Structure 1
């Protein structure tokens, strides 16, 4: 066998064993670059445990890369207007190579109390919190949340995705617990979170539309929001907000919370920031933000999204100052063009 033949065989064997990097479709907007592919300025913008975190000016509008249970202790007190808490649910899950293992019920309750003890001093007296969970985790954390805060509501939102089961109902819902520090003093902007719904059977009074408006694309009414949200779409591959994070929250979901429970200029805090969805949404809605994320990769994805949010303030499903039902893209474009 010649040297060239042996070399060709070696190259063929090497190509078979090497992982093949998939080429994305042009429509695939998923943010999933590796750390090696991350722009140098993105990595350079990330703070970590080596920095001074004791002054608000040093952490404001930043994502700190590191362990939340260590970093929160070093942050100033009384700086948070709204906290969005999305800890790992009590499930076996892998996050960028970090395994979170399902705990015994009492151990997960202790884990919940531990992060609450760290976060409480950071909250302003009139602060609100939203804690995300699945149905099983909700059963565990409800008594812990009630012990530490006033529970105002439990929002259930339809995830839309989820695997079916032959022996149980498909799990297509998640919860967001609405909590406040002071039951008599908190922010809630009801007019900022109206939902625009189609009017199927429009009612008229003296020949005029009553509580609805006619458009060239149909009839709509702006309705008061309830604690069941069925208008949320999980980010998918063709949406600019989509990332490779396994449990990413939609910007539309977070926008409802941020608009309702904070004001422009307020500080939104997320100690389990993931790929930065809450921080990006806060920035788009003219809030300030502070985030913590253990994975350097997820932190880099979030930093990249925050940079893009400088120029692109759009939030899927939120147009003309209201939230729209699913499958109303054409109507939203008309409303956007009018403005």
Structure 2
């Protein structure tokens, strides 16, 4: 694969020709899956060639980011837009079988944009119960002269059994800076006063305005044209799965689901038809083994966009508190 010339500060992940032989050893084929099923792997294959080798009622969580109903070139794998009815038939061609792989109390999320989201809702509701629609702000691009800038995407939240599914809201709370602190009897009301600033821990809504789309200065960035942010998938996984749970991504792309699963202690089976994307995914997994951080997720909570400075202050404050406690404990040993 041809290597691009990049600016010195560009941290976009690349794979050199010399790295390919070693990375390929970690990629499975559909035949490998047929011989011995594993629930934590990257499979380079067509989804239709793999589904019969995956057990039904198996995965706790399925995250789907399929091709939207747009003309898009995925590095040689082209997808063409079509009429809504034809697109819905395309979704049905694999969605029903993917749903069969979901555990009875499992959860499924499907990503879409304004053009295909209504088609997705119709097809999803043919097999599952929709619990909610998440809309997240995809703040990227300069906009259009003859239309409103398209900066929103949807994620459909659906389950097999609306009376029995896992959802941990405590794990996905937001930490927001308090601009106008409200006090009662001189004390903070529903917010905390800290050395690094005033903050409020809030319950998450179904509108996410805190997501940063990967770009050239972020180490998670790749050249994939529709890459999803690690922070986005971290919210889905923390809310709807437990450590050790099994996750399935039938359109793995550049590997975000697999990477986030590894960072959060989950298992992920990802299928991707593009060989180059599989190589990126493996390299990202290797990098994730030494770096468990997720941009915008720190100290067990999700922070607002552009709050890195506040996070660093919080981290410094935490380290300072730990050091003080260590000194106090050391002094206590001498009575």
1:29 pairs with 2:11 = yes
1:137 pairs with 2:116 = yes
Number of residue pairs the alignment of both structures matches: 317
The DSSP-based 3-state class of the residue aligned with 2:180 is coil
Kept after mapping to 2: 8 A contact 1:163/1:171: no
1:239 pairs with 2:193 = no
Task: Compute the TM-score of the two structures, normalised by the length of structure 2.
Answer: 0.91
Alpha-carbon displacement from aligned partner over 1:89-134 (angstroms, at most 9, x marks no partner) = 0000001201101122111101111221211221100010000000
Question: For the structure 1 residues 52 and 201, does the alpha-carbon distance in structure 2 shift closer, same or farther, using more than 3 Å as the test?
Answer: closer
Q: Distance in 2 between matches of 1:321 and 1:314?
A: 11
Alignment-derived partner of residue 82 in structure 1: 61
TM-align CA RMSD: 1.5
Question: For the structure 1 residues 66 and 225, does the alpha-carbon distance in structure 2 shift closer, same or farther, using more than 3 Å as the test?
Answer: same
Q: Distance in 1 between matches of 2:273 and 2:92?
A: 19
Structure 1 spans left out of the alignment, 5+ residues = 1-19
Deviation at 1:37, TM superposition (A): 4.3
Alignment-derived partner of residue 104 in structure 2: 125
Alignment-derived partner of residue 165 in structure 1: 144
Q: Distance in 1 between matches of 2:306 and 2:145?
A: 30
Kept after mapping to 2: 8 A contact 1:54/1:75: no
Moved more, 180-189 or 75-84: 75-84
Q: Distance in 1 between matches of 2:33 and 2:206?
A: 40
Moved more, 113-122 or 307-316: 113-122
Residue 42 (structure 1) aligned to one of 12, 18, 23? 23
Moved more, 109-118 or 83-92: 109-118
The DSSP-based 3-state class of the residue aligned with 1:211 is coil
Task: Compute the TM-score of the two structures, normalised by the length of structure 1.
Answer: 0.90
1:198 pairs with 2:167 = no
1:310 pairs with 2:292 = no
Q: Distance in 1 between matches of 2:45 and 2:129?
A: 30
Q: Which ranges of 4 or more aligned residues in structure 1 deviate by more than 4 Å?
A: none
Alignment-derived partner of residue 257 in structure 2: 278
Larger gyration radius, structure 1 or structure 2? 1
Alpha-carbon displacement from aligned partner over 1:196-222 (angstroms, at most 9, x marks no partner) = 111111111222212111123321101
Residue 277 (structure 2) aligned to one of 286, 295, 298? 298
Q: Distance in 1 between matches of 2:268 and 2:223?
A: 22
Q: Distance in 2 between matches of 1:241 and 1:174?
A: 20
Structure 2 spans left out of the alignment, 5+ residues = 320-335
